[in-house]
Amino acid sequence: MNLSKKCKIGIVLFCLFVAVCAGICVTSVVQTSSAPKNGQVIVIDCGHGGRDGGSVGVGGTIESDINLRYGKALADKLSASGFRVVMTRKDENGLYDVNAKNKKLSDMQKRMEIIKQANPALVVSIHMNSFPLKTASGANCYFRKGDKQGEQCANLIQHTLNAYCGAPNKDARVGDYYILNCSYYTSVLVECGFLSNPEEEKLLNSPEYQQKVVYSIYAGIMLYC
CB of 109 to Zn ion, least distance (A): 17
Helix (H) or strand (E) segment spanning residue 150: helix 148-165
Residues between 13 and 52 that touch Zn ion (CB under 5 A): 47
175 near Zn ion, judged by CB under 5 A: no
CB of 54 to Zn ion, least distance (A): 4
CB of 90 to Zn ion, least distance (A): 18
Residue with Cβ nearer Zn ion (26 or 203): 203
Number of neighbouring beta carbons within 10 Å of residue 169: 10
54 near Zn ion, judged by CB under 5 A: yes
Is the Cβ–Cβ distance between 9 and 219 less than 8 Å? Answer: no
Kindly indicate which of the ranges 100-108, 113-121, 122-130, 150-158 contains the residues binding Zn ion, using the contact rule CB under 5 A. 122-130
Residue with Cβ nearer Zn ion (111 or 127): 127
Is the Cβ–Cβ distance between 107 and 95 less than 8 Å? Answer: yes
89 near Zn ion, judged by CB under 5 A: no
CB of 128 to Zn ion, least distance (A): 6
Residue from the set 127, 144, 159, 212 that interacts with Zn ion by CB under 5 A: 127
Sign of CA dihedral 86, 80, 216, 202: negative
Residue with Cβ nearer Zn ion (83 or 96): 96
Residue 15 sits at φ, ψ, to 5 deg, of -60, -45
CB of 40 to Zn ion, least distance (A): 26
Is the Cβ–Cβ distance between 74 and 44 less than 8 Å? Answer: yes
Q: How many residues lie near Zn ion (CB under 5 A)?
A: 3
User: Which residues 6+ apart lie within 8 Å of 92 measured at CB?
Assistant: 49, 50, 64, 65, 68
What is d(CA 131, CA 197) in angstroms, rounded to the nearest whole number?
8
User: Which residues make up the interface to Zn ion (CB under 5 A)?
Assistant: 47, 54, 127
